[in-house]
Structure 1
């Protein structure tokens, strides 16, 4: 049974992606900072007949990410799909937004740790094995400001810088893995998830991820609410 690891899993898009892949026969490994919340999400998936479990880790602590993926491998075996979508719905220690005129090292470095270095830490746990097997999918999710900083709110300049760095990493990794059997793509979301009509709902957006995994077409596939 193939396995998807969702890093940054929550009750919105992460859970919806888990349901989509789980319904297609995937086991689901959920990763975020709080074990109790992960256990609740896993219970919901298990009730729906999906093999799922939670593995607590902090993306700003590479050692905890490595430990979590070690436990994932023990439970499910190799990871076939990695979806990385750190989206803080609750305050993250040390992480704050800043407008461009106020952005400094103290506000930008944690954003880089959260988006870029967290993404690299997770990728390091799965990419070598994927390349060795000649198969795998890695999808990185950010807000639309990573692709177009002018599209985001001015208060999120530091976030746009951090997530933009992750975007650059994703696009260069897409090119570097060409011909290896590993598919890497970036998904910038131009929508407030769950804040509008059906096109903004996580269940709708999650289908976009399954389409990417199955079609494996393109380095960057934005999702925009109509």
Structure 2
């Protein structure tokens, strides 16, 4: 049974993506910081007939992330899909928002550690095996500040744009190797950000395996077409 590993899984989008892939025959490995949240999501997926397990890790503590993937490798078939979509919840240490005039090394570094170093670490745990098998998908989710300037998120945008740059280069470097990498920026307001509406697009992106970037906007959700189709 193929496995999807969801890094930064939460009760919103992460859970919905898990449900969609589970319905397609995937076993789900959820990675998150709080064990109670993992237990609740695993139980909810179980009631829907989805095989799932939770693995506790703190993205800012890379050793715990590496350990979580070792546990996944011991308990599941190889990871066929990695979905990376962490979002800070509550007041993470040092993870403040800063506008362009307030950006400093101190308030950028935690976001670099969270988004960029977290993604690189997670990818490093599954990519070698994907390359050896010649199959796999790597999906990285960010907010709109990765592709469009948002002054209120001056420091976060630096980190998310760096992650985007790496993923686009990764997509090109993996061409012809059987492994697909793509960036999925979400550009949605509160009325459009329904996880159960968004999640099926991740299955479409994975199953098609085309294009380095798939901007999910309100128009995408209405038409079923993302920016790469337009």
Give the TM-score band, short-chain normalised: over 0.9
Q: How does 1:59-70 map to 2 (within 5 A)?
A: 59-70=59-70
Shift, 1:210, TM fit: 0.3
Secondary structure at the counterpart of residue 190 of structure 1:
coil
* Matched residue count: 219
Shift, 1:93, TM fit: 1.8
Shift, 1:200, TM fit: 2.6
Instruction: Provide the residue aligned with 2:202 in structure 1.
Output: 209
Match among 155, 167, 172 for residue 170 of structure 1? 167
Shift, 1:94, TM fit: 2.1
Cα offsets for 1:16-61 (capped at 9, x unmatched): 0000000000000011111111111111001110000110111111
Instruction: Provide the residue aligned with 1:40 in structure 2.
Output: 40
TM-score (norm 1): 0.95
Shift, 1:110, TM fit: 0.6
Q: Structure 2: how far apart are the matches of 1:225 and 1:72?
A: 35
Gaps in structure 2 of 5+ consecutive residues = 220-230
Backbone CA RMSD of aligned residues: 0.9
Shift, 1:107, TM fit: 0.4
TM-score (norm 2): 0.93
Q: Structure 2: how far apart are the matches of 1:133 and 1:94?
A: 39
Runs ≥4 in structure 1, deviation > 6 angstroms?
none
Q: Structure 1: how far apart are the matches of 2:42 and 2:165?
A: 32
- 2:193 paired with 1:200: yes
Q: Structure 1: how far apart are the matches of 2:12 and 2:128?
A: 30
